[in-house]
DNA sequence: TGGCCGATATGCT
DNA sequence: GCATATCGGCCAA
């Protein structure tokens, strides 16, 4: 199965966010299928606007790892995107596939639904290292396309107070591994 | 089962 | 000094 290169990430951020759904992401023996993402471009909620200094990588690259810390104790994982404009895709939830015992140990939870069902959770479960920052995605992770394109639902992004009208959250329809359910019907 | 709230540190004004 | 792309525990129902 083909791994994803720079050309995949060079496209429109909304397309990249949708096409990451269903992809298998692996790091250090732990793997999951991406079931939820969010797109950030140059909107009011984007770090391109709110953290212009540290998020400069959003405008200067595509296909690189962008990690940020939030609320003190949490870190979140993004892949930069779009060769033409600032953009990044936030990984919000994965379906656990392998390395379950290691991830349970790192997360300290019994319910497997809590392993990877949130942006901070998946970084902890996969033990994404700090030195992955600004590295090419495919040098840090193994990332494979799905055989079939999953059906997708959309909704407003989570945890933001600005640009809440943009439906730039994407998820695999019917997945039980989402960070939160999607508000309404399909998308 | 769902809502509320505190923890905790970083980036930017 | 303040807001924040979060998480998990606690409490009421």
Distance CA A20, CA A124 (A): 20
Strand segments (E) across chain A: 24-27, 30-40, 65-70, 74-80, 88-98, 142-144, 152-155, 169-172
* pLDDT of amino acid A186: 41
* pLDDT of amino acid A1: 54
The spacing between the Cα labelled CA in A43 and the C1' in B11, in angstroms, equals 18
Q: Where does the pLDDT of residue A4 fall: very low under 50, low under 70, confident under 90, or very high at 90 and above?
A: confident
pLDDT at residue A185 tops 90: no
Strand C contacted by A161 CB (< 7 A): yes
Strand B contacted by A2 CB (< 7 A): no
The pTM of this model reads 0.96
Looking at strand B, which nucleotides approach a protein CB closer than 7 A?
A: 7-13
Q: How do residues A54-103 score in pLDDT, each as one tens digit?
A: 999 999 999 999 999 999 999 999 999 999 999 999 999 999 999 999 99
CA gyration radius, chain A: 15
Name the phi and psi angles at A127, rounded to 5.
55, 55
The spacing between the Cα labelled CA in A32 and the C1' in B12, in angstroms, equals 35
* pLDDT of amino acid A110: 84
Looking at strand C, which nucleotides approach a protein CB closer than 7 A?
A: 3-8
pLDDT > 90 fraction of chain A, expressed in percent and rounded: 94
Provide the CA A92 distance to its chain's centre, in angstroms: 5
At CA A87, angle to CA A83 and CA A89, rounded to 5?
120
């Amino acid at each position: 199965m083909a791994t994803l290169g720079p050309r995949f990430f060079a496209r429109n951020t909304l397309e990249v966010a949708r096409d990451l759904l269903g992809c298998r992401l692996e790091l250090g023996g732990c793997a999951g299928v991406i079931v939820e993402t969010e797109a950030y471009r140059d909107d009011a909620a984007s770090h391109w606007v709110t953290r212009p200094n540290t998020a400069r990588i959003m405008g200067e690259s595509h296909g690189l790892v962008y990690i940020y810390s939030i609320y003190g104790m949490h870190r979140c994982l993004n892949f930069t995107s779009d060769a033409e404009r600032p953009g990044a895709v936030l990984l919000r939830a994965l379906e656990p596939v392998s390395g379950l015992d290691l991830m349970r140990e790192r997360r300290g939870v019994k319910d497997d639904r809590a392993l990877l069902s949130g942006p901070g959770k998946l970084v902890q479960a996969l033990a994404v290292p700090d030195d992955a920052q600004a590295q090419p995605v495919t040098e840090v992770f193994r990332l494979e396309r799905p055989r079939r394109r999953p059906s997708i639902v959309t909704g407003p992004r989570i945890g933001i107070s600005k640009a809440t009208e943009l439906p730039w959250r994407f998820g695999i329809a019917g997945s039980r591994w989402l960070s939160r359910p999607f508000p309404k019907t399909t998308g």
